[in-house]
Structure formats: C-alpha cells, structure tokens
C-alpha cells in the first residue's frame, strides 16, 4: 500500500516553475530516496507534502485520500536548514516542539526521556542549546522530528554536520524506525547513504522526474555487461566481442581493465579470454553506483 501518492503536482513561484506535473507513489514502510541536484524542487515538494505551501495544481493523497491537517500531524519533518532556540533548555525545547505536534505533556516527557537515553544525551537535558556542540544539536533536532512517533518521517539532508560515529547512530535509528513500521522520505546529496538505506528512489531534475522506482531495478537498468578484471599480463584492446574500455596500471605489474561484453558472449567466455592471455587475479561485474546513475542522468539533462 502507498502511504503517499503525489498526483500531478505543479508549483511555480512567479515565472519560475519549481515542479512540473510531478506524480509518483511512496510505498508504506519503505525508505524512499528523493534525489536531485540543488534547486531541483525537492524542498518545494517536501513543503507541499507537509502543507507548508500549497501546489498550483494536483494533490497529495495520504493512505489513499486527500491529505488533511490531521494527517500532517503524523509526519515528522527534519528540514535541511534547521535550528533551535539558543537560549532555551534542551528538555524545555523538546517538550515545546512535541506539544506543538499535539502531544500531551506527560506523553512528551516520556518519549523525550526514551530518546535522550537512546542517543546518549540525557546528561545534557538541563543545558541551554547554545552550550551544545553542533552534532549534539543535530541529535536534539532528530529527536524533535521523531518524538511523536510519526508514521511518515521526512529527513532533508539528515547527516550534514554529523561525524561518522553519530551518522551511523542516526542511520541505525532510521532503519529501526522502518522496522517498527514507519515510512521514511530521505532527501540527500550523499549517494553512499542512499545506496545503503533506500529501497525506492526518485530523481527530480529541472522540476521533472528523471528516474523513479525500486533501487534494485534502477541499478539493474543501468547494468551494461561491463566487468572489471585485475590481472598480470596484457590483453588486446578489442577482440571477439570484448571491448576494453579503460586500462589502469596498478602496482606490482598488476593491471585493471574495464571490459564490456557484447550480447552474444557470457562471463565464462570473458574468463576464458583473459586466462588464455594473462594470469587473472579477480573479475567482478561493474554495477553502477547510484552516484554514477545520478551523474549520468543529470549531466545529459543539463544540456537539453
């Protein structure tokens, strides 16, 4: 079942068209990657989902029916540009933000306690926010996002400002939230975390969708029978349906080549081809990373 269905949404600011008839669905209980270069319209789309702004046309369906103000409460949104009241105590601030989401005070306190212990910042609860490190503040903001146990969590660049340890901590929390049934929309430039976390991705560029679907399927689409071989010796540049795209000399006389096989041949043929001429060390299929896909999709679109 889809938790969110974006249905033909367009939005313009004056003459600038930010979103042009966008439509896709986000399956329940998935980690959904919303990708796109700067200025693609990601933040606009998120703000439309959270009803901060209204689309010029189209609608957002939440679990099959048009989104209501009540549904918006079930969203936890961590914006890219985020801040806190500097002069406020950590616990007071979290209670305030939780109550704005409609929680009662005791519920808020309970949930905040749970999360602060989990993220190991309980000792800071009585400090002013300005006394906290940036990473610590990010943790507070993360808690503020998930404190009311939202069904849909929207994270815009959640890892910016985190050191690797804390980034991992948050990554684990995101996966755990998914385990517990939440859906996560994840907007980022950091492709390695998309690779790691996302089930589904949508790539927006110039206010249009360029790619959409399950991460696995998209990656499969971009496989093109290319393999990476490491060996000692020499192979001809082109022969019998094997095309060497690139060759790099590594240390100790080892050579690495990228080789594409034409459709009539199999991997076994490639192995035979290389072993007949060299001492083979390794052979792997080159599976495109999301990063490669991102760049190869966005670049040509830029020249349109």
Partner 1 sequence: MNKIGLIIAREYVARVKKKSFIIMTILGPILFAGMMALVFWSATREGDQKLIQVIDESGLFENKIENTETITYQFILADVEQTKQDLIESDAIFGLLHIPKINLDNPEGIKFYSLQSPGIAIEGGIEKRIRGIIEDEKLVNSGLDQTLIDNLRAHVDIQTINLSDSGDESESNSGVAFGVGYVSSFLLYMFIFIYGMQIMRGVTQEKTSRIIEVMIASVRPFQLMMGKIIGIAAVGLTQFVLWAVMTTALTSVTSSLILDQPSTTEQLAMQAGGELDAEQIEEQNKAFDLMSITDKIDIPTILGSFLIYFLGGYLLYGALLAAIGSAVDSEADSQQFMLPITLPLIFSMMMISIVIQEPHGSMAFWLSIIPFTSPVIMMMRLPFDVPAWELALSIALLVAGFCGTTWMAGRIYRIGIFMHGTKVNYKTLAKWFVMKI
Q: Which spans of this chain sit near partner 1 (rule: CB under 8 A)?
A: 13-14, 50, 52-54, 56, 72-73, 75, 77-88, 96-97, 99-101, 141, 144
Instruction: Write the DSSP assignment of 95-141 as a string of letters.
Output: HHHHHHTT--HHHHHHHHHHHHHHTT-GGGTTSBGGGS-HHHHHHHH
Kindly report the length of the chain.
304
Q: Minimal distance in Å, beta carbon 174 to partner 1? A: 18
> What's the distance, Cα to Cα, between the start and end of the chain in Å?
36
Nearer to partner 1, 72 or 228 (CB): 72
Q: Which residue has tokens 């990373």?
A: 289
Q: Minimal distance in Å, beta carbon 78 to partner 1? A: 8
Tokens read off for 163:
């050191």
Nearer to partner 1, 54 or 165 (CB): 54
Nearer to partner 1, 47 or 205 (CB): 47
Nearer to partner 1, 42 or 219 (CB): 42
CA proximity to 179, closest of 217, 215, 153: 153
Q: Map residue 242 onto helix, strand or coil.
A: strand
Helices (H), the chain: 42-49, 69-72, 90-100, 105-118, 134-146, 164-179, 191-197, 215-221, 267-275, 290-302
How many other C-beta atoms lie within 10 A of the C-beta of residue 216?
Answer: 10
CA proximity to 6, closest of 156, 41, 218: 41
Nearer to partner 1, 13 or 266 (CB): 13
Nearer to partner 1, 99 or 125 (CB): 99
Q: Minimal distance in Å, beta carbon 3 to partner 1? A: 17
Q: Minimal distance in Å, beta carbon 24 to partner 1? A: 21
Q: Minimal distance in Å, beta carbon 87 to partner 1? A: 7
Q: Minimal distance in Å, beta carbon 141 to partner 1? A: 7
């Amino acid at each position: 079942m889809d938790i969110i269905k974006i249905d033909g949404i367009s939005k313009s600011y004056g003459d600038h068209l930010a979103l042009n008839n966008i439509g896709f669905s986000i399956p329940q209980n998935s980690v959904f990657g919303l990708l796109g270069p700067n200025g693609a319209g990601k933040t606009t789309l998120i703000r439309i989902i959270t009803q901060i702004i209204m689309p010029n046309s189209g609608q957002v369906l939440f679990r099959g029916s048009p989104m209501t103000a009540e549904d918006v409460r079930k969203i936890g949104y961590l914006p890219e540009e985020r801040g806190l009241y500097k002069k406020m105590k950590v616990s007071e601030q979290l209670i305030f933000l939780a109550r704005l989401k409609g929680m009662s005070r005791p519920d808020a306190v309970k949930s905040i306690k749970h999360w602060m212990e989990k993220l190991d910042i309980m000792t800071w609860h009585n400090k002013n926010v300005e006394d906290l490190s940036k990473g610590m503040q990010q943790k507070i903001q993360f808690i503020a996002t998930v404190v009311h146990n939202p069904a849909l969590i929207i994270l815009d660049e959640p890892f910016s400002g985190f050191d690797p340890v804390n980034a991992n901590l948050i990554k684990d929390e995101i996966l755990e939230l998914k385990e517990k049934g939440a859906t996560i929309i994840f907007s980022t430039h950091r492709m390695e975390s998309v690779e790691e976390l996302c089930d589904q991705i949508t790539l927006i560029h110039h206010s249009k969708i360029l790619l959409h679907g399950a991460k696995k399927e998209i990656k499969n689409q971009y496989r093109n029978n290319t393999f990476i071989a490491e060996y000692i010796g020499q192979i001809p540049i082109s022969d019998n349906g094997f095309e060497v795209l690139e060759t790099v000399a590594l240390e100790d006389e080892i050579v690495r080549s990228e080789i594409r096989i034409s459709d009539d041949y199999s991997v076994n043929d490639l192995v035979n081809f290389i072993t007949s001429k060299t001492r083979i060390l390794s052979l792997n299929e080159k599976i495109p990373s999301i990063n490669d896909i991102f760049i190869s999709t966005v670049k040509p679109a830029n020249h349109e």
